[in-house]
């Protein structure tokens, strides 16, 4: 369940850790025993700050590209999720149409009446985003999904939690962009000519009709060379037509393990969100570091 949840869990864990450490520290009366909670607070805030500042820099350092002119490689896109019914999926809990979902099902434990997770899931289907220049398929596997819409419902002893990205919503993606087909098609004239000649050989009557120029019923070396040249011209013409096509754009998790983010927030708002979190964690780090040295010197 870590897939698509890292950002959500890190912020939640960091905040819960701060609260837990503060509660523990306020119930500690001897100054010497504050050493461990203060050190833990500094450690948690340092890692949380590193987590958020990495995302601030990644978003700030890469300009938003247009889909139709995006370079192959690590890019930032901002488009609108498709509303085409063929591109939609449904959440398994509520049946709500969407382009991406993550869900949790909890059941109340009779012993302590606490909620316990009993099942969870996340969609893996690609979905389409578009801007004024083109369309791109988004493969959400291994993405951090930031700020999806959360819906909570109850059915008897069960609690259902759903995180959703809806059709028609603005979608931000930071990941590895590539184009399959079109101008980026990987084509081999030599291989394709060989396959075409092999196909021609299956119909010897037609092959001789086209290239047996002296009418002796055989294809000699000179005539075979003419056939090879004709096949080469045909293949090159086909390759030119293939490269004129637009191709299929897709953005997915980077192979070098760089950040892969998907959000329904704009680049500016997403960067601002992480920026404020980084200020908060840095302030906690500064306070806990000061408290650490105060406790150590006392």
Where do the domains of the chain lie? 6-181+247-297, 192-244
Which residue in 44, 42, 34, 29 sits closest to 294, CA to CA?
34
DSSP code string of the chain: --TBTHHHHHHHHHHHHHHHHHHHHHT--SGGGGHHHHHHHHHHHHHHHHHHHHHHHHHHHSPEEPGGGPPSEEEEEEEEE---GGG-EE-TTT--EESEEEEEEEEE-TTT--EEEEEEEE----EEEEETTEEEEE--TT-EEESPEEEEEEETTEEEEEEEE-TTSEEEEEEEEEEESGGG----HHHHHHHHHHHHHT-HHHHHHHH-TT-SSS--HHHHHHHHHHHHHHHHHHHHHHHHS--EEEEE--TT----EEESS-HHHHHHHHHHHHHHHHHHHHHHHHHHHHHHH-
CA distance to 74, 109, 257, per residue, from 250 (Å) = 12, 44, 17
How far are the Cα atoms of 98, 162, 173 from residue 131, in angstroms, in the given order? 19, 27, 13
Question: How far is 284 from 282, CA to CA, in rounded Å?
Answer: 5
Q: CA-CA distance, 131 to 205, in Å (whole number)? A: 53
- Find the farthest-apart pair of alpha carbons in the chain and give their distance in angstroms, rounded: 109
The pLDDT assigned to 221 comes to: 86
**pLDDT given at position 183:** 61
Residue 30's pLDDT is 53
Please tell me the predicted confidence (pLDDT) of residue 96: 92
Q: What is the pLDDT of residue 172?
A: 97
In whole angstroms, give the CA distance from residue 155 to residue 51. Answer: 36
pTM of the predicted protein model: 0.72
Are 94 and 151 in contact by the 8 Å Cβ rule? The answer is: yes
Distance in angstroms (rounded) separating the CA atoms of residues 267 and 265: 7
Nearest of 118, 117, 87, 96 to residue 164 by alpha carbon: 96
Mean pLDDT by 10 residues, the chain (298 residues): 52 69 63 69 86 91 91 94 90 93 88 82 93 93 91 89 95 93 68 86 85 81 86 82 74 93 93 91 86 70
């Amino acid at each position: 369940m870590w897939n698509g949840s890292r950002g959500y869990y890190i912020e939640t864990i960091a905040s819960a850790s701060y609260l837990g450490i503060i509660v523990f520290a306020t119930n500690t009366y001897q100054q010497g025993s504050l050493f461990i909670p203060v050190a833990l607070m500094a450690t948690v805030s340092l890692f949380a700050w590193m987590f958020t500042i990495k995302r601030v820099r990644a978003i700030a350092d890469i300009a938003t590209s247009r889909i139709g002119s995006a370079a192959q490689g690590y890019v930032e896109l901002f488009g609108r999720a498709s509303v085409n019914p063929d591109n939609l999926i449904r959440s398994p809990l509520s049946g709500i149409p969407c382009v991406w979902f993550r869900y949790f099902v909890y059941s109340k434990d009779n012993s302590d009446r606490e909620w316990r997770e009993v099942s969870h899931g996340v969609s893996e289907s690609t979905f389409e985003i578009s801007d004024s220049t083109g369309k791109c398929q988004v493969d959400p596997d291994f993405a951090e999904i930031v700020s999806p819409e959360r819906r909570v419902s109850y059915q008897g002893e069960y609690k259902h939690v759903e995180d959703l990205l809806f059709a028609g919503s603005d979608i931000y993606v930071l990941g590895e962009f590539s184009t399959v087909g079109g101008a980026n098609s990987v084509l081999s004239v030599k291989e394709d000519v060989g396959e075409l000649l092999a196909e021609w050989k299956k119909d010897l009557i037609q092959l001789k009709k086209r290239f047996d120029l002296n009418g002796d019923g055989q294809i000699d070396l000179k005539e075979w060379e003419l056939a090879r040249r004709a096949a080469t011209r045909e293949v090159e013409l086909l390759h030119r037509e293939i490269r004129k096509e637009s191709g299929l754009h897709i953005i997915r998790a980077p192979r070098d393990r760089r950040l892969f983010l998907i959000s329904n927030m704009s680049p500016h708002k997403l960067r601002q969100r992480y920026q404020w979190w980084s200020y908060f964690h840095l302030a906690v780090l500064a306070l806990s570091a000061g408290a650490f040295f105060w406790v150590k010197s006392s």
